Amino acid sequence: MKKRAYAIVYSALSIMLGGIGIQKFYLGQTKRGVLHVLFFWTFIPTILCVIDLLKFTFMTEEEFDDKYNRIELTYNNNYEGYDIINSALKYNKLINTASIKIKDDKIKENIKELNELYKNIIDISVKDTASNKIAIKELEKLLEYNIPTIVKIINTYIDLENSKIEQDNTKLKNDIMDSIIAIKENLKNVLNTIYNNNVIDISSDIEVIKSTSKR
């Protein structure tokens, strides 16, 4: 995953080296990078590098991820998992956005781990592998209740942290933490299910190859 800090460093390096557009190659914008190299002598790329440096410096991690780390689907709208994956990505972004607002480091870390597990399932679902159909089915199940509910729970926790009402919400906060941990464990089980199914498929393919090679 591309990091905003690296983009800032590369932009600064590019300015010092005469605007050769290192950051463009890092961000996967190869054509723009080549144009920077070809026209560095005009000093226009240097000006653009300064603009990039300012942009990356003041851009939030969320904005950077949304622009440069977004999963680009290679399927058209008729692909059977297109809507499911798009919906899953939206919830992934919602969870990430909500977690930024959490003040408690412990629950924030658990939410981050939960979202990383969830993202792993999404990543598998967009790859052209034997596991992607299983991952899509598991995503569909998660989107029926677990993921929308966890977003609701996280937002409730944010409201509790920001509440000015003087009352003890310790039990409710603990229940929310337990729910997040429970969903996190569920996501681990889902990933194990996907992995185990993939292992079975590969083992079956190996056995077929072995049997045909003996003929």
Cβ pair 21, 32 in contact under 8 A:
yes
Amino acid at 71: I
Q: Are residues 95 and 60 in the same domain?
A: no
Q: Are residues 122 and 103 in the same domain?
A: yes
Split into its structural domains, the chain has a count of 2
pLDDT for the residue 165: 66
User: Which of residues 66, 86, 109 is at a domain's end?
Assistant: 66
Q: Are residues 41 and 85 in the same domain?
A: no
Q: Are residues 147 and 193 in the same domain?
A: yes
DSSP calls for the chain: ---HHHHHHHHHHHHHTTS--HHHHHTT-HHHHHHHHHTGGGSHHHHHHHHHHHHHHHS-HHHHHHHHS-----S-TTSTTHHHHHHHHHHHHHHHHHHHT---HHHHHHHHHHHHHHHHHHHHHTSSSTTHHHHHHHHHHHHHTHHHHHHHHHHHHHHHHH--S-S--HHHHHHHHHHHHHHHHHHHHHHHHHHHHHHHHHHHHHHHHHHHHT-
**pTM of this prediction?**
0.61
Q: Are residues 110 and 46 in the same domain?
A: no
* Spatial distance between the Cα atoms of 116 and 108, rounded to a whole number of angstroms: 12
Structure tokens at 207: 């056995």
Q: Are residues 109 and 10 in the same domain?
A: no
Q: Are residues 180 and 108 in the same domain?
A: yes
Q: Are residues 32 and 123 in the same domain?
A: no
Q: Are residues 81 and 150 in the same domain?
A: yes
User: Which of residues 66, 92, 119 is at a domain's end?
Assistant: 66
**Which residue segment(s) compose the domain that 60 sits in?**
4-66
Q: Are residues 132 and 205 in the same domain?
A: yes
Q: Are residues 78 and 147 in the same domain?
A: yes
* Spatial distance between the Cα atoms of 207 and 74, rounded to a whole number of angstroms: 32
Per-residue pLDDT of the chain (215 residues; tens, 9 = 90+): 567 788 888 888 888 887 888 888 888 888 888 888 888 888 888 888 888 888 888 887 767 776 776 655 444 444 567 788 888 988 998 998 888 889 899 999 999 999 999 999 998 888 766 677 888 889 999 999 999 999 999 999 999 888 876 667 888 889 999 999 999 999 999 999 888 875 545 555 555 455 555 55
User: Which of residues 66, 86, 103 is at a domain's end?
Assistant: 66
Cβ pair 124, 68 in contact under 8 A:
no
Q: Are residues 16 and 105 in the same domain?
A: no
